Amino acid sequence: MTAPRACDTPACKIAGFLATLLGRRPPYLQVGALCLRRNRAQDLEVLMISSLRRGRWIIPKGWPMKGRSLAGAALREAWEEAGVHGKVSSRPIGRYHYDKERAGGLPLRCEVRVFRVDVDHLDDDHPEAGRRKRHWMHPREAAGLVDEPGLAALLEGLAPR
C-alpha cells in the first residue's frame, strides 16, 4: 500500500477547510534546483533525487539561507542533497506549490522558486550521500514520476515537442 498524498489525509482536509474559513496565510518560501545536463546524444537530462521519508522523486530543494541569495541557496541545496557542482541561474525559471508533511500531521503550504543549474560534475562525497538515490532522466519521464503538478509542468516544459 502506498502512503497517501499529503492533501488526501483527513488532517489536510480539515486544515484546508479551516484555512478557507479563517483566510489563507501566504505559503512558506523554499528554493529548488533544476539540475540539467546534455548526454552524449546531446539530449537534455534532469537530475532527480529521492525524498528522505518516502523515496519519492523530487528535485533538490530547501529553505532560504541567511547570507546567501535565493539562487545561491538553491545551488547549496543541490550540492548537499545530490553532490552537484555547476552554474546556477540568477533568476528563477519557475515555481510550484506543494504541501510539506510535518510531524504534527498538518501540512505546511510551500512555494518553491526553481533555479536552473547547469551541472559541471557530481561529487559522490556530499552531506546526504547514502541517504538519497539520484538518477538522470529525460524531463518527460521525470514529469511522470513526481507528485507535484506544478513541478511536472516545469519538467514537461523542458521536453522537446
Domains of the chain: which residue ranges? Answer: 26-158
Question: What does pTM read for this prediction?
Answer: 0.83
Instruction: Look at the chain and count its residues.
Output: 161
Separation between Cα atoms, residue 6 and residue 17, nearest integer Å: 15
What pLDDT score was predicted for residue 93?
97
Q: Are the CB atoms for 113 and 92 separated by under 8 Å?
A: yes
pLDDT by residue for the chain (161 residues), tens digit each? 333 344 556 766 676 666 655 666 678 999 999 999 999 999 999 999 999 989 999 999 999 999 999 999 999 999 999 999 999 999 999 999 999 887 777 888 999 999 999 999 999 999 999 999 999 999 999 999 999 999 999 999 998 76
- AA identity, residue 72: G
Pairing outcome for strands 134-137 and 94-100:
unpaired
Classify domain 26-158 at the CATH superfamily level: Nucleoside Triphosphate Pyrophosphohydrolase (3.90.79.10)
